[in-house]
Amino acid sequence: MFVKALRVGLGQLIVLGDALSRPRPQKRSAQGQAQVEAEAARLSLYQLHACPFCVKTRRAAHRLNVPLTLRDVKRDPQARQELQAGGGKIKSPCLRIDDAKGTRWMYESKDIIAYLDQRFGQIA
């Protein structure tokens, strides 16, 4: 019971710290931002609200001004089932990428952030 309360409390502190220190979003031309939004429409981030690795991933998406669809695997049973069926395991964060190659599932915050940087970082 104590451990759960401690974990929830720490999670809320992490979320508060994120809200207070969130980086400024990247500025782009209207055309560049429209391109980012069109490409981001095919991405979904399966995540937990107070998970430190999910917060880190959401901060990177915010910094890059990439509007990801967020799916909470704790509060949304359908998202949890999709993650299990598609990705093969319930682990967050996980980025679902739907493109011409089909659907891919990317785990690990560092890999997701590197992917977002590579795909969206240079769009002006």
Tell me the CATH number at 53. Answer: 3.40.30.10
The Cα–Cα gap between 62 and 56 comes to: 10
Q: Would 15 be classed as within a structural domain?
A: no
Q: Would 76 be classed as within a structural domain?
A: yes
The Cα–Cα gap between 87 and 79 comes to: 11
Q: Would 5 be classed as within a structural domain?
A: no
| Mean per-residue pLDDT over the chain, rounded | 92
- Residue-number span of the structural domain to which 67 is assigned: 33-120
pLDDT tens sequence across 82-122: 999 999 999 999 999 999 989 999 999 999 999 999 999 99
Q: Would 57 be classed as within a structural domain?
A: yes
Tokens standing for residue 85: 């069926």
Helix (H, G, I), strand (E, B) or coil at 122: coil
**pTM: predicted TM-score of the whole model, two decimal places:** 0.89
Q: Would 17 be classed as within a structural domain?
A: no
Q: Would 26 be classed as within a structural domain?
A: no
Overall domain count for the chain: 1
